[in-house]
Amino acid sequence: MLSKRLKAKLIFNVSDLWPESAEKLGLVTNKAFLKLAYNLEKKCYNKSFLITGQTNGIVQSIRSRFPDKDVYWLPNGVDLSFYNPENINSTFRKNKGFEDKDLLLFYGGIIGYAQGLDLILRAAEKLKEYSNIKFILQGSGPEKARLLEMKKVLNLDNVFFFNPVGKKEMPAILAQIDVALVPLKKLELFTGAIPSKIFEALSMKKPLLLGVDGEAKGHFIDKANAGFFFEPENEDDLIEKILQFFNNKELILEMGSNGRDYVNKNFNRDNISSGFYKKLKLN
C-alpha cells in the first residue's frame, strides 16, 4: 500500500522463510492459518519489484517457487571497524568472575525454539568434571525460563545466563570469550541458514562451534577453517569438539584469525552494500 501511494518500487527482503519456518518447527499447526500466511507470502513476492534473500538457500527456495521474480542474494555482513579486536580494552572476564585459564564457550542471541539450546546444557552436564570449561548464554526469549529450570534441576554450576545487552557492549564481551557456540535444530530447512551472530564472532577472531549444516558449514568450516562443525542436536559430537579446543588452545588463535580474514574478504558490509547499490542502479 505504501509503495503504491508513493509510486515507489517495492523491494522485499527475506531473512527467514516464514511461514515455512514456523510450520517446520511445529509452532503453527492450524491449516487455515497457515494457508492465509502462505497466501500473504505469495502476495508480497508477487507485488515486489525485487526480492532479496540473506542466504543462497533462501534465494533458491524463492526462485524455485517464483521463477518469474528477480531474486538477489543480499547476505548479512559485518562492520569490521566496529568489531575490531585490536581496538577493544575489555574487563568482561574479570567483572563476571571468570579466570584467565577458563575456556569460555559463548552463545549470544535469541533463546528460542529454533536454536535447540538444550544441547548446550546436556553437554555441560557431561563436562562437569572439567572445572575450567564454562558455558555462557546471553540473551532472552521464549525458552529462557525453561532452560533456567533445567540448569537448576541438573545443578549446572558451569552454565551462566546473562541478560541481553546493547550492540555497543558486544565487542567488549566477544573480545574476552574463547569460542562462539552457534547451534540450530536438525531440520532440512536450516541447511540454508547463516545465523548473523557468526559474523560478529569471526570478526572478533573467535572461532566457531557450528551446529548448522549446509551453507554455513560450507562457508565457515570447509572454506574458512574458522572452527569445528558438530552434528546438530548431538551433544557427544559437540563435547568432542569442545575438548579439541580445550586441549589445544593454539587452535583458538589460528581458527579465529582465519575467520576474520574470511569475513573481511567475503562478508564485509561495505562491499555488500556497494554491490547492492550497483544492482539497484542497473534496475
pLDDT of residue 67: 94
pLDDT of residue 21: 84
- Return the beta strands (E) in 109-226 as ranges: 133-138, 159-162, 179-183, 208-211
**Residue extent(s) of CATH 3.40.50.2000 domains in the chain:** 85-266
**Tens place of pLDDT per residue across the chain (283 aa):** 889 899 999 999 998 888 888 888 888 899 999 999 999 999 999 999 999 999 998 999 999 999 999 999 999 999 999 999 999 999 999 999 999 999 999 999 999 999 999 999 999 999 999 999 999 999 999 999 999 999 999 999 999 999 999 999 999 999 999 999 999 999 888 888 899 899 999 999 999 999 999 999 999 999 999 999 999 999 999 999 999 999 999 999 999 999 999 999 999 999 999 999 999 988 7
SS3 call for 61 = helix
Q: Are 116 and 233 in contact (CB under 8 A)?
A: yes
Beta bridge partners of 228: 209
pTM of the model: 0.88
pLDDT of residue 20: 87
For the record, the C-alpha cell of 42 comes out as 505469495
265: nearest Cα among 74, 78, 83: 78
Distance CA 263, CA 203 (A): 7
pLDDT of residue 189: 81
Give the CATH fold of the 85-266 domain.
Rossmann fold (3.40.50)
